[in-house]
Structure 1
């Protein structure tokens, strides 16, 4: 009995050790990302106590495309730098690159450019150079890039260290000390948000430093994942969307942002001249001229296309009417002819058995008896196809909207279209995703007509996929300029650049051998034009296509 109890105790101990070791050895796939808790609009704690800002949204987007499990922690900047060095966080989502910092940290490609500014109380003289700060009391963030710079270059200012940019600006606005050195956009953002009307930048923005993800040296494998995710977001345009959402409003024209933008542009131009010389500057001008020329050509093509579509619509309407009459006659008579031939088959077979083979239509009956039913079936199928093409032609040639007085919910229209083509979607892909924007305002138009457009876009995306492991993503949103937007994004074969401008041309199709008529997108373009909207496409061969439908809000729709 004692032996039995000993064995039982030993077994329990071993089991406990195994479970403990298994728990200890379990892979910790959680990646801890750190950042500043008060550095808007890049990163900050919002009113709900959650991490927010440009850096935070970008990090979550990278985690999504790379399949990473992350946790974002925001705290005082100097504490976060210490946490990175002690291994309490794995990476920082925003750090300015400097030569001194590269000895300790590794950096990703930049996701923003940070300029610095000198703030003072209104009425103070302008500061042209940091050397003018010698002997002055200067407020700066503890552990920030400017703190590092002032120490390394021995500027000779009396440094007043604070935890955040907001603390620096509040202290300056309260009448204490001489200057505050903060990052340009966060300084402008906080000046506006905190309503600090007695302080202002007193020098041109300077620095223009790269700002991106950082890890301790030796952890470059993790950094490579963030760099790859960032590259994907840049290529798909998602990084630009996040940038415009958070940083775009501060770059909008109008006082005081227009003046700030002009100053930043001049500084950037001077830096480019210094770094690249006249050759780089000339290349930039050449690219600008080329881009403007392409825009003018595109506008001209659109005008020509609009005129062509009007003329073609009138022609097509008449052609469709003329084709419809004989095709209706064929659809009526071919089934009768087929029934008549089936009734004759018995008589023809009896004659064949008694008298042998005979000519029928210039060929032997023994051959024609199998061919005639197939020919009749082919003729009937072809006539049905003619009827479908005529129906598409009618849709394309329809002049003016039938009724555009409904108040339409874009999310409802998209959801209905997805239900209608659910079978097509399920046969095309195992990875379909639909994301609907919250509280989208209605637009004035025709729900059924826009539903036809959405169906065409989704079906085209399904037909573009080469295997079911490729994905299709549908998304609705409200753009910053108050327009409704639908995106249908596929990972299909893509479209050649020369063909993109021809997608809305009637009868143009890359699927002629599979039965495509080239009218679906033409009809869609006409419907969108009726609604004063816009239908555009972005594509790369082998990487997929994005179809973008933009619709204006109806007049009188609330904008807030």
Structure 2
């Protein structure tokens, strides 16, 4: 027994003798971190990155990232919500261990250690509507510019544009309210949080007035004495990225922009195969619709029982084809474009000084077969057009996916009629462009709201717009106009969705029959006679009514009237 004890003592002594000081210090640091809770400061009003929820608890993208890192690295965190100036000051004084959403700058890096970035935040110049547009941040010189106190843009303004007059505020929300109230000239704030807050606060008189300022890298920051904490957070971020957890959190709060790569050649093949499938499906749907029409004509007594089937058939005809699978394939390359284009923009801005130096030495410099001065002037606009086009593709595909998603009739909730109308217009925009010379849309500024199944009401709007486009396309008039509007009634109890076309009009004897099943004046054009019948049934099911006014040679007005919700009821 004594010999065993002696052997154990020898092993322990040897272990301590041969263990390196670095190993012992690393273990000490790990035990120290394990024993304490890391205090992290965050901005209480910086959505969707970090903010307080309705219960006052921390939430948002960076909050979820922090909690995920703490879980995977095995330590505890305490997130303190405060305004940004107090958070930044608390980091410098040692009150807080880490800031979780601090933007990197060379000046800050002189006294703060930064982790690898967890996101990129663009900054924008906001102005009141009607104010002159500005093209660059340099035009803020001599202007009163509202900024968040101690933010990266506050520092940037003082350093890069000394003649600008900064007006510091505690939060983004306070900055936007101040601008909306008519005070000062501009606000220089983070783009996504500002758009989020302006919508939430109902600040409809402000908008981004110029191109976004180049993106800022957001990450974790700590004092040099807490270098071990920054190493932990950087390692945790790497683990989250490699396991896909960061992408999952990013998609939850900021949208899926980093999709798997798809080769353009394969994308072209997918598109070709998809078109062929769509043609086959469209032919099948057309044949099936014709067969269904004959069956319903024979069994009109069973029209009520077959209503849902007719609605789905008409919905598929309006949409053209089933689009969910196609939408997913389109979203992949679109997401890739939206992710990579900002990187290309930053890369172009970074390389410009080098190219300018080369061009000064050699005036014959060409890139991609173009003279350098021409490329320098045109490339930024090309990149901007690509960004806007990619966002447009994503919005249209999302609208198609929402429209095609099956949803029971009993699923109803509050619906913003303006948003629903805009979505329907996007889906049939091609038909409008082909048929209309002048298109106008007037949406009620009081944002009329109804209780409805959004897919069904969107289906009605699409049917009415397509009918109007068909009438205009068959008309021989020179100036073809289409007007779409939404309005509250004077007593705010009804909502009107109105479509007015300047087609040839409908004869008085046909007006009473417009909603009869299978009645159509477009039989030779492939009309089924189901669109208006189904639309009228949907509106009636929502306790509304569909009205028609038409005059031969003048045009047609169709109005969907639905029970509205007063603004006071919404706020309650």
TM over 0.5, yes or no?
no
TM, length-normalised to structure 2: 0.41
TM, length-normalised to structure 1: 0.42
* Pair member with larger Rg: 1
